Structure 1
Amino acid sequence: MSRKPKPDPGSLAYLKLLNLVDSIKRSQPALDPLEERLLNRMAMAWHKGEKVTVTQAMEGGDGVAPATVHRRLKQLRAKGLVALVADANDTRVRFIEPTDEALHYFNALDDCLRRLDRA
């Protein structure tokens, strides 16, 4: 009787990344997949120095209804990860900005990648 080889779940670096990210996520407010996707999309814009309005986020083109995006933005705000700031010239326009909690989350993820790079 021959033994089946064990399936290879991936590289050791990938498994380390999964464990590190999981530990970071456990220390943060739980995000559903859409909240995480919105936060990541805004993080990319913020990294480029772009300002993101609520309207822009709702029109993101991800195939998600604007009302659904708006609800998820409210949830991200309630979880302390984003803040809405009125435009100085037009108070009807609200910009989505990262909070200190969001910046801490992004820095922790960045730290994970740096640890893996050194490994």
Structure 2
Amino acid sequence: MPTLRQDATYISFPEILSSVLENSALPALGPFEQRILRTVARAGYDKSRLSVRDLMAMRELGAAATIHSRLKSMQKKGWISLADTEDARRKQVVLTEPALRILDEVGTRIEQTSKNKCL
């Protein structure tokens, strides 16, 4: 029977994420908002641009109206901002500095946990 490796950091991930988010300056996100956050963060990591229209076209995220309302909520909570593009009708969705700091803290804690388990 297969067993989990001792250094399986992903087991610690939910606790790390919860701990960082509980102590963050930004309000908590709901599960749907967290999915959007992952999508926006991935786009930022890949250095690609993601517009409101792009997100609303992603059917896996849900209905366009729901996505739009969640984006407004996330903007009010301080997680994302909408930046102007060359086309005034299109807004680029970007993470705010506080959101970037929180995600960076999550990454740092995951790295530390991984190093500690491998020692």
Instruction: State TM-score, norm by structure 1.
Output: 0.82
| Over 2 Å off, 4+ runs | 11-20
Question: Whose helix fraction is larger, Structure 1's or Structure 2's?
Answer: 2
Q: What corresponds to 2:114 in structure 1? A: 117
User: Which structure would you say has the larger RCO, counting Cα contacts within 8 Å and 6 or more residues apart?
Assistant: 2
Q: What corresponds to 2:102 in structure 1? A: 105
SS in 2 for 1:49: coil
Of 87, 92, 97, which residue of structure 2 is paired with 1:90? Answer: 87
Instruction: State TM-score, norm by structure 2.
Output: 0.82
| 1:90 Cα offset (Å) | 1.5
Deviations along 1:52-81, whole A, 9 cap, x unmatched?
000001111215110000000001100111
Alpha-carbon distance between aligned partners in 2 of 1:105 and 1:64, rounded to the nearest angstrom: 26
Q: How does 1:19-58 map to 2 (within 5 A)?
A: 19-28=15-24, 29-58=27-56
Shift in alpha-carbon separation, 1:70–1:15, aligned structure 2, 3 A: same
Alpha-carbon distance between aligned partners in 1 of 2:20 and 2:110, rounded to the nearest angstrom: 12
Tell me how large the CA RMSD over aligned residues is.
1.9
| 1:13 Cα offset (Å) | 4.8
Percentage of pairs with the same residue: 26
SS in 2 for 1:52: coil
